[in-house]
Structure 1
Amino acid sequence: MRIDQLPLRSPVAGLRRRGLSMVEVLAQSVSALAPSAAVVAVPPFVMAQAGAATLPVLVGGTALVVLVGWCLTAFARRMAAVGGVYSYTAKGLGPGAALLAGWALVVGYAGIAVSALVGSVAYLVSFTGLDPPGPAVALVAVSVGLLATLTTVRGIRLSARVALALEVVSVGVVVAVLLVLLAAHDGGSGTGAAVVDGPVSAGGVATGLVLAVAAFMGFESAATLGVEARRPLVAVPRAVFWTPVVTGLLFVAAGVAQVVLLRAAPVEVLTGDVPIAQLADADGLGVLPRLLDAGIALSFFACVTGSINALARVLFSMSREGVLPAPLGRTHPRFATPAVALAWASPLLVVVPAVALASGVRARDVLAGSLTVSALGYVLAYVLAAAAMPVFLHRIGELTRPTLVAGTLAAALSAVVLVVAVAGASWSGSGAMVVVFVVAWLPGPVLWLVLRRRSPETLARVGVYDQATAGSLLPGQGVRR
């Protein structure tokens, strides 16, 4: 390409380009997914919905996420984007579908940030052994949210490294606690068996599958670091694929252990805020329960930072395209982070759970509700991104039979899970969360309709990604004429 045909400025200029190593890119996916928190917090929710079908649901959710991850690597090996799945969908299905997927991602990242914030607070409270009133718990939530915001504004490199180290330690503690509890298990059963071995319904299984997928939410967030990664076309696809594979093995194994343990426990433990910590306390495991509380709290905190990082970069990408107000596309002059998007999103993510906790709502209820809303957003985004993959590959002349089958299968299965879960929401008592999701997601379709009518040239810019500029070429590169 001739140098005079290259742009003078990248569409995503302002972010620190090509600075993150493979480990730091991987750390973004790991921190946003928060494996140790997910494998402890999610299985009890799945049990409450899927009953006796819990283990097949956990395996099915894992397999579906791995398939979606493989589909996303087809994009990640070919383009370095800030919008991640949002930008990928634009390249396959166009701007309309991209805005539907992008705003679903916004809802998903926001919901999981709220869930992780509440989870962190719940385990911090369990760590102290106190039972503070609602306003005090809300103050803890505000403090955790403020710390997470400052960490993300400061830069992703430090937060990613710290998060990865914390996750490794936390996973070790979780595995140790589960093994000790299993070793002490006497094989009996308690009132929890009525839930663990409960009746199976289509709506419950579908809702359970959505929640199982929720355990992996954020695995694709490394795709938002395409501009900042040192080797984006290598590091991002590896992180996006291998994070759910390795975490999936841990998730299913931990699920098996919790089915055994919670079947023998009182039903009040299974439906409590911190079931495994309560079991560890009841078995008198000394310092291990407190280490578990600390590890899970830190894992949830890492998830807050990872989710806010990804959310801010999607908003940044939309701003640079003209879809959202221009200030959201500004970066910090020193730290090269999307500081305005972070400052805009973070207060809302903190205020919602803080108000709920201050008013006396149980942490488990806030966690379950925000997790459901988030899961619906993620699954919708995955449906569109998976469907976009074969279209994108066909457009560039690289479609093969395996990619066609994988994309079609991932999109179809994700769509079935989403539709059945929404249809069965009233059966499982989560219908209100579907309404919350729809209301939160509506700005996406509205933006598309408004821009389609009033500013089609803005829609044409949807899907920006990092591009070489004239200034990025070394002397002698390019064709000068």
Structure 2
Amino acid sequence: MGTREEGRVTALERAIAERTPLPGLATTSPLHGLRRRSVGSWDVVAQSVAAVAPAGVVLVSPASLGQTAGSFAFLDLAVTVVIIVLLAATISVFARRMASTGSLYTFVSRGLGPTLGIIAGTALALGYAAIAISTLVGASRRTVGLIGRATGDAPPTWILPVVIAVFAILIGSVIVCGLRPSTRIMLVIEIAAVATILALSIVVFISTGWNVGALVPDVSEPFSVSTVLSGVGIALIAFVGFESGTALGPESKRPLATIPRALMWTVIAVGVVYLVGAAAQISGDAAIEGSGAEGELPLARLVESAGFAGAAPLIDLIIALSFLACSLATTTALVRLCFALSREGLLPDVFGRTSMRFGTPAPGAVILTTGVAAVPLVWIVVSGSADGIRSFTTPSAIVGYVGAYVLVCIATPVFLVKIGEFTWRAALPAILAGTALGAALVHDVATKMTTDATGAVIGLAIAIVTATICLVRVRRRPELRAHLGLYDSPVASDSIGGVPAAPKK
């Protein structure tokens, strides 16, 4: 045994000493230009958590879930957490085997082929853009509200467009300057925001005597699958974007281990925060008559009712920062996705160019950040206010994200069969998550079509037109098919042997 171990050590030492280049390794990655292996696990977690915006969601969304699901709100949220954990396990099947800035687009392309891959990529891009726009506007409006509180006067109407433009410039600049400063900013913001949310939730629990009886569904209420699907549909919007950390795969250290671990950490941590925040909201509503029945700051009113006056400005600030970090994270993911699509020939070359100084897709970042800001600015010019924009961005986000999630769930067992590694243990999470997400998506779209179909129709139309353009481009240039679904691969400089020496003339 000792001789065998000594032989291994000797072989390793000899390989290090000789540094013989390995044949067959390319000198550059298909995703060259990015700073490969430059960020760690916490950076990926920060990206994923910020894209979810847990603090903003906890402070704004529980009232909507309660109004839809009634006493089943907490149960619906718990069911959604389970679905998202299954989805994270599904995405990890791919993330353990390949790293790409294309995220779910690359995974679906590898599992189901280029046509469905393009549809998934288009849907994901729609989701990223919709959330980036919505949270940019949300952060700006909260900031304007804080300015009004500080001055004691209603801010002039031109303040909101100015704040949107300033935030967009900030987001674009941070993305251009590199992942590390971007993710560190997001990490600090979200840690502070989540810590504050948990503290406020504990304050509410203490004030209500830790009343958790309200979390149990009231069996006297009418129960239906439709009600559960409606609740899950609302709760899903709280989790979309968690997969965006996969877009940092080529730039992260040990991506095949880091990305799956970061995804699971994110959904579990965020799920716990949501369950605690929602439990505090439901418990407080049951104990304090009238609290959280209307308006956008139910938890703030509950905290003030518990004796902490003036909590609203603090919570407005937390929401503004959380939404700003979310807009930064989703725009970052959108830039990385478009980078992959450009390298594969589906988008103009400008989106695939990188800055030599920063190692980022700087031209694409500038263009896409400008586009994200332009949508609300034009909306405000045309309509005179930012009211109503979420009626378009929220349905677009649901259609885009959940559509991509369903496709990656379908792609997973097919991919496992293709590579000869299919097992029911690996495929079952995809089957369960895909079935649940598909049912929620169909129910949500059907509901929107019978109530306010405008937002859902516009989102679907944008996705269909974009996907059609890409598919036509592939049909006209069949050679592009061989490039679709590119992912990062080891290069000569990654090996002990390094890059082969140039032949002597």
Unaligned residue ranges in structure 2 (runs of 5+): 1-19, 212-219, 501-505
1:114-133 matches, within 5 Å, as 114-128=133-147, 129=149, 131-133=154-156
Report the AA paired with residue 463 of structure 1.
G
8 A Cα contact 1:153 1:342, kept in partner: yes
Aligned to 1:384: 407
- Count of equivalent residues: 470
Structure 1 or 2, whichever has the larger Rg, is: 2
Report the AA paired with residue 257 of structure 2.
V
Using the alignment, how far apart are the partners of 1:266 and 1:88 within structure 2? 49
Q: CA deviation at 1:112?
A: 1.0
Using the alignment, how far apart are the partners of 1:375 and 1:164 within structure 2? 25
Q: Deviations over 1:416-448 (max 9, x none)?
A: 111111111144x34222112112211343035
1:49-448 matches, within 5 Å, as 49-128=68-147, 129=149, 131-185=154-208, 205-262=228-285, 270-280=293-303, 285-286=308-309, 288-357=311-380, 359-361=383-385, 365-367=388-390, 369-427=392-450, 429-448=451-470
Distance 1:310 1:43, change over 3 A: same
Using the alignment, how far apart are the partners of 1:339 and 1:476 within structure 2? 29
Q: CA deviation at 1:452?
A: 4.4
Using the alignment, how far apart are the partners of 1:320 and 1:250 within structure 2? 38
8 A Cα contact 1:451 1:459, kept in partner: no
**TM-score scaled by length of structure 2:** 0.85
Aligned to 2:5: none
1:446-465 matches, within 5 Å, as 446-465=468-487
**RMSD between aligned residues:** 2.9
Q: CA deviation at 1:56?
A: 2.3
Distance 1:240 1:444, change over 3 A: farther
Q: Which moved more, 1:72-81 or 1:200-209?
A: 200-209
**TM-score scaled by length of structure 1:** 0.89
Q: CA deviation at 1:475?
A: 2.4
Using the alignment, how far apart are the partners of 2:192 and 2:21 within structure 1? 51
Q: Percent identity?
A: 34
Q: CA deviation at 1:318?
A: 0.3
Q: Secondary structure at the match of 1:78?
A: coil
Quick one: which of 36, 45, 56 aligns to 1:37? Answer: 56
Q: Which moved more, 1:366-375 or 1:243-252?
A: 366-375
Unaligned residue ranges in structure 1 (runs of 5+): 189-196
Q: Deviations over 1:191-226 (max 9, x none)?
A: xxxxxx997776564343222111111111110011
Distance 1:171 1:439, change over 3 A: same
Q: CA deviation at 1:371?
A: 2.6
8 A Cα contact 1:85 1:381, kept in partner: yes
Using the alignment, how far apart are the partners of 2:87 and 2:77 within structure 1? 16
Distance 1:113 1:265, change over 3 A: farther
Report the AA paired with residue 327 of structure 1.
V
Q: Deviations over 1:365-419 (max 9, x none)?
A: 4345423321221100000111111111111111111122222222122111111
Report the AA paired with residue 208 of structure 1.
G
8 A Cα contact 2:346 2:474, kept in partner: no
Q: Secondary structure at the match of 2:398?
A: helix
Q: Deviations over 1:46-93 (max 9, x none)?
A: 234333432222122211111110101111111111111111111111
Distance 1:228 1:268, change over 3 A: same
